[in-house]
């Protein structure tokens, strides 16, 4: 084979490999003149998505941007920064982290000088588990991220609190429910825009992950979320939601927990309980096979503690 052919083949395969490692573009949804949802791909962190699989929200204020959730690596954060620059030339001056999981917070480092806000528990958990999350992302994606390190919040809010703030001329209500999806969740409500940003307490078309959760608190949080007069809801993962979707998720989670509790009171083990549950609606959700077994075990442990 000629040298020219070898050179062409090398270029083709090199370009193909390079294309496979590109971070996917977010789906940009304009909610109104100042609020945009950056919807990331669905699924677990992988080589295919390069650790980008989370939703973020861009709120354009008077002099700067408030970004809710910054992505799972420094590279994802930089990727989101480029997407934001296509929306507005204003810099990101504030970041709000909805919880401590790495796919939502490890992009903080890409936004130098931004003030970071979160719940107190989120800050503590980012400090405690952040490096572990870097390792998790590296393992799942299959390469190192030397520029990624955890950056915890500078401003924090207590559990079970509601705080009204004005950031960059934007009114917002920061609600820290009792630990639900994680011990340190925060939700953001924009009353003038009627937009609720839910983090992973609210997910759409994918199975909620209960590994770090307190399910009864989560059910209560979903009930209270229905009190917000939100026309548009940005979940942590999946397409935008309506309040009807929140009602459906609330009913699904409450029924799931009640089913596990009923099985426990009959003396069944967690594996036996699985066969008694109506999981037909759950099976329609993405990542069902990955997460449902662990979710049942987590619910069983919580029921066991509650009934001790």
Which uninterrupted H or E stretch holds 56? strand 56-60
Q: How far apart are CA 105 and CA 162, in angstroms?
A: 21
Higher-confidence residue of 215 and 1: namely 215
Give the pLDDT confidence of 256-284 residue by residue, as tens digits. 999 999 999 999 999 999 999 999 999 99
The answer on pLDDT for 1 being more than 80 is no
In-domain check, residue 47: yes
What confidence category does residue 5 fall into, taking pLDDT thresholds of 50, 70 and 90? Answer: very low
**DSSP β-bridge partners for residue 163:** 174
Edge-to-edge strands, sheet with 65-68: 27-30, 35-39, 56-60, 65-68, 92-96, 115-119, 155-157
**How far is 177 from 186, CA to CA, in rounded Å?**
7
Percent of the residues in the chain that have a pLDDT greater than 70, as a whole number: 94
Q: Which domain holds residue 223?
A: 22-243
Instruction: Tell me the pLDDT of the chain averaged across its residues.
Output: 94
Q: How many residues are listed for the chain in this entry?
A: 308
Has residue 7 been placed in a domain?
Answer: no
Q: Residues 261, 266, 269, 271: is their CA dihedral positive or negative? A: negative
Residue 19: exposed, middle, or buried by beta-carbon count in 10 A (0-12, 13-18, 19+)? exposed
pLDDT in tens, 282-307: 999 999 999 999 999 999 999 999 99
Q: How many other C-beta atoms can be found within 10 angstroms of the C-beta atom of residue 278?
A: 9
Asked if pLDDT for residue 254 goes beyond 50, the answer is yes
The number of folded domains in the chain is 1
Q: Is 132 exposed, middle or buried (0-12, 13-18, 19+ CB in 10 A)?
A: exposed
Task: Count how many Cα atoms sit within 13 Å of the Cα of residue 105 in the half-sphere of its side chain.
Answer: 33
| Per-residue pLDDT tens over the stretch 156-174 | 999 999 999 999 999 999 9
Any domain includes 298: no
CA dist 23 and 189 (Å) reads 29
User: For position 153, what pLDDT does the model report?
Assistant: 98
In a domain, 236, yes or no: yes
Work out the average pLDDT over 101-127: 98
277 in a structural domain: no
223-245 average pLDDT score: 98
Q: Is the pLDDT of residue 226 over 60?
A: yes
Q: For position 60, what pLDDT does the model report? A: 98
308 pLDDT band (50/70/90 cuts)? confident
Q: Is 210 a domain residue? A: yes
pLDDT in tens, 198-217: 999 999 999 999 999 999 99
Question: CB neighbours of 275 closer than 8 A, spacing ≥ 6?
Answer: none
Question: What was the pLDDT predicted at 14?
Answer: 39
CATH of the domain at 143: 3.60.15.10
DSSP state letters, 230-275 = -SEEEEEESS-B-HHHHHHHHHHHHHHHHHHHHHHHTT--HHHHHT
170 part of a folded domain: yes
In a domain? residue 259:
no
């Amino acid at each position: 084979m000629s040298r020219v052919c070898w050179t062409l083949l090398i270029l083709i395969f090199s370009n193909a490999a390079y294309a496979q490692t590109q971070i996917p573009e977010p789906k940009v949804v304009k909610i109104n003149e100042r609020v945009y949802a950056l919807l990331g791909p669905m699924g677990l962190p992988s080589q295919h998505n390069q650790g980008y699989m989370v939703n973020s929200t861009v709120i354009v204020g008077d002099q700067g941007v408030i970004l809710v959730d910054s992505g799972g690596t420094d590279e994802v954060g930089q990727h989101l920064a480029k997407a934001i620059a296509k929306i507005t030339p204003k810099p990101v001056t504030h970041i709000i982290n909805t919880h401590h999981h790495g796919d939502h917070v490890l992009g903080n480092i890409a936004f130098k000088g931004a003030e970071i806000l979160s719940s107190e528990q989120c800050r503590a958990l980012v400090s405690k588990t952040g490096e572990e999350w870097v390792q998790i992302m590296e393992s799942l994606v299959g390469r190192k991220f030397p520029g990624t390190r955890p950056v915890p919040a500078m401003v924090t809010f207590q559990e079970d609190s509601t705080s009204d703030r004005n950031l960059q001329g934007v009114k917002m209500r920061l609600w820290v429910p009792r630990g639900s999806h994680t011990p340190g969740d925060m939700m953001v409500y924009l009353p003038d825009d009627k937009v609720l940003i839910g983090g992973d307490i609210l997910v759409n078309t994918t199975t909620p992950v209960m590994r770090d959760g307190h399910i009864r608190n989560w059910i209560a949080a979903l009930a209270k979320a229905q009190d917000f007069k939100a026309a548009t809801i940005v979940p942590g993962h999946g397409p935008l939601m309506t309040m009807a979707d929140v009602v459906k998720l609330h009913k699904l989670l409450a029924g799931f927990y009640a089913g596990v509790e009923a099985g426990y009171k009959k003396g069944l083990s967690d594996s036996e309980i699985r066969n008694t549950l109506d999981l037909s609606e759950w099976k329609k959700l993405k990542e069902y096979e990955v997460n449902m077994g662990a979710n049942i075990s987590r619910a069983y442990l919580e029921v066991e503690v509650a009934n001790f």
